[in-house]
Chain A
Amino acid sequence: MYENRKYRSIAAFIILVVCALFFFILNVCIGSVRIALPDIVETLAGRQDDETLTRILWDIRLPRAAAVLILGGALALAGYLLQTFFNNPIAGPFVLGISSGAKMVVALLMVFLMGRLVRVTSADMILGAFAGAILSMGFVLLMSRRVNSMSMLVVSGVMIGYICSAVTELVVTFADDADIVNLHNWSRGSFSGMTWENVKVMTLVVAVTCIAVFLMSKPLGAYQMGDAYAQNVGVNLRLLRVCIVIFSSILSACIVAFAGPISFVGIAVPHLVKKLLNSAEPIRMIPACFLGGSAFCLFCDLLARTMLAPTELSISTVTAIFGAPVVLWIITKRRVNHV
């Protein structure tokens, strides 16, 4: 069952990279204006004279696809970290209310700053989202001390999410400024309107966090065995827990700040990837989750943009269609295996 794991891992990584690349290219090609692959190469090489094409490619398609790639990966990784942390297969930034908490604080911040005609920078958004994510995470942690059952923890997370969403709705509804229209779209989750400036900031934040998470793969692996055994082999549990909370919150915050809350990717992707790898080792799972999240989100964003074009669907609509069945599958499978 586990003999050929090395080859399986290599095969899995090739599949993931190919998928991510494939959907990235499709995302760049397909849209209201179709761009053929040779044209893209020409444009990137700077030999394209068509100004419109160049603008569409450079200002809209490429930054958006890059953002989906980065944020999708971050989202799946955040989900994986939270599942590991709570030893709960259906934990994720969305179901635990962490995305909603981040969304609430960002919404409050935006309305407050816009009301004073102050420009909101990417950094402000991330910091606001991080504060909100930590706030929600704090509540979830408090709840996790009081409820032992995994499902009840998720229910409390969902409740926290509802409260935060309600507050956000309230704020958005009452502040009917022209800018708030954007806020409304964002609060439902969307990758639209990405700029290279955004991409730069998110790349920096996500790259640093992902590298830090990858460096933690050994203690994370030990942590999966359970507290007693992790401690026995010399893991500093308290430090590791703090790191997981902070890193998963940074990743969740970064996604919310740029694309709003996105459901199900954080739960579905780590599970699909785990099946693909046939291993739960963090050293394989961390990079694989990132690639899987990128591919999955690129695929979903493609559908969100094109299915009912020119109307754009919210990204969560699409991710839910593909992600929710995975969650149901996980739940039913666990019953059978009495885990």
Chain B
Amino acid sequence: MCKQDEDMTNYYFTAKEMCVGYDDKPLIREMEIALPKGEILSLIGPNGAGKSTVLKSIAGQLKLIGGTVSLGENVLSEMKSGELAKKMSVVFTEKIRAEMKSCRDVVATGRYPYTGWFGILSKEDERIIDEVMELTHITELGAQDFNRISDGQKQRVMLARAICQEPEIVILDEPTSYLDIKYKLEFLSILQEMREQKGLTVIMSLHELELARIVSDKILCLKGEFAERFGTPEEIFESDFIERLFDIREEEFGENEKLIKYIRQIGRI
């Protein structure tokens, strides 16, 4: 192992002068993100601030209006789609269409970049699928029809699918929105586990500020034409910045503080 220097090359995910939007109309400009391997970045901001747009752009599904996104040394737009598929997986708010598919079938679709011409699963693929389903606690959902489970269960299956793809980085858009508090915590602890075990880098948008605060290494605040702020949770949550970001009064935010206390008590994260 070579000695690591404290310079740019240490960052796994970098966005330089990234400008995102639809139909050449920029929504957010000049974004700078730099994330070392194995860190969790949360995007927060009011509805309509462009969190999904940023995530879609990062995932290469929306063309960048300006700037570049890189994974390690590789510029994303220059990578082959098959190569990128082995490094990055996504969980979007849009559900997977699964006709006559069991949950296990849906998880298995994550193996796509690794299977041969006809997509037949090998023994090794089957083993990874079972392992991931166990890790994400959805083994008991395996045989059920994906279209007949709840939205919350779907989110968990979709996370399993994304992990099954064995990515280096996973992009998640509001991954916990349909989960109740127990599963929200479980979901995030799975991400933390993956980060510790496999050095998984995570970029996600989160509704729940309290969760963002305790789970993230970095937080990016979005509001308006420029990224409002990028930093560690401590930097972001100091003073009255959050109140200004969401236009809320202190006592309202105080309500959420109770939730944090509750979470800390449970001690899951």
Contacts and interface: CB of A to CB of B under 8 A. Distances in A.
Interface of A: 1-3, 87, 215, 217-218, 221-222, 224-226, 228-229, 231-236, 274, 278-280, 283, 337, 339
B267 interface: no
A271 to B, nearest CB: 11
B139 interface: no
B143 A225 contact: no
26 contacts: A2-B105, A2-B145, A87-B97, A218-B112, A218-B115, A218-B118, A218-B119, A221-B109, A225-B96, A225-B97, A225-B109, A226-B94, A228-B90, A228-B92, A229-B92, A229-B96, A232-B165, A233-B109, A233-B113, A234-B80, A234-B81, A234-B83, A234-B85, A274-B100, A278-B100, A279-B100
Contact of B61 (A228, A233, A278): A228
B150 to A, nearest CB: 14
Contact of B109 (A3, A222, A236): A222
Contacts of A236: 81
10 A-B pairs with least C-beta separation? A234-B85, A218-B119, A233-B112, A234-B82, A280-B99, A2-B102, A234-B81, A280-B100, A232-B90, A226-B97
Contact of B59 (A215, A232, A278): A232
A232 B97 contact: no
Interface residues of B, number: 39
Contact of B145 (A1, A224, A226): A1
Interface string B200-222: 00000000000000000000000
Contacts of A279: 100
Contacts of A337: 147
A222 B112 contact: yes
Nearest to A220: B119
Nearest to B167: A232
Interface of B: 56, 59-61, 80-86, 88-90, 92, 94-102, 104-105, 109-110, 112-113, 115, 117-119, 143-145, 147, 165
B154 to A, nearest CB: 13
Contact of B90 (A1, A215, A222, A229): A229
A1 B143 contact: yes
A252 B84 CA distance: 36
Contacts of B61: 228, 231-232
B98 A2 contact: no
Contacts of A3: 143
Contacts of B81: 231, 234-236
Contacts of A217: 118-119
A337 B98 CA distance: 13
Contacts of B89: 232
B58 to A, nearest CB: 12
Nearest to B85: A234
